Amino acid sequence: QVQLVESGGGLVQPGGSLRLSCAASGLIFSFYTMGWYRQAPGKQRELVASITSIGSTNYADSDSVKDRFTISRDNAKNTVYLQMKSLQPEDTAVYYCNANSRPLGHDFWGRGTQVTVSS
């Protein structure tokens, strides 16, 4: 059974930082492109960043995200991270972890972790 468990969310003041983690189990982690998505209230879920099994990264087409967020992975720990800095209220959302493998036809989601940026 595949599980993706996010952690690290919470309440942070504007300008603060958070590091999200997603621990994966039940799959061969190195076979999957891992991604972070977010969904703000009343909005569609959107890609924040993704990273392939060999470490190639892709970020949302937003200078704001590219400049402030960093995705990384540790294949030995079956974990993907999202380092977020200079957080702003517009970053408030539920952040979801995703594991995707096109060759295998697999697409798995975690339950999400809430990030709230507010003073």
Contact between 32 and 103 (Cβ < 8 Å): no
**What are the backbone dihedrals phi and psi of residue 37, each rounded to the nearest 5 degrees, phi first?**
-120, 165
The whole-number pLDDT of residue 69 equals 96
**Band of the pLDDT at 116, cuts 50, 70, 90?**
very high
**Band of the pLDDT at 90, cuts 50, 70, 90?**
very high
Contact between 81 and 15 (Cβ < 8 Å): no
Separation of alpha carbons 8 and 27, rounded Å? 22
The whole-number pLDDT of residue 25 equals 96
Residue 68 in this model has a pLDDT that exceeds 80: yes
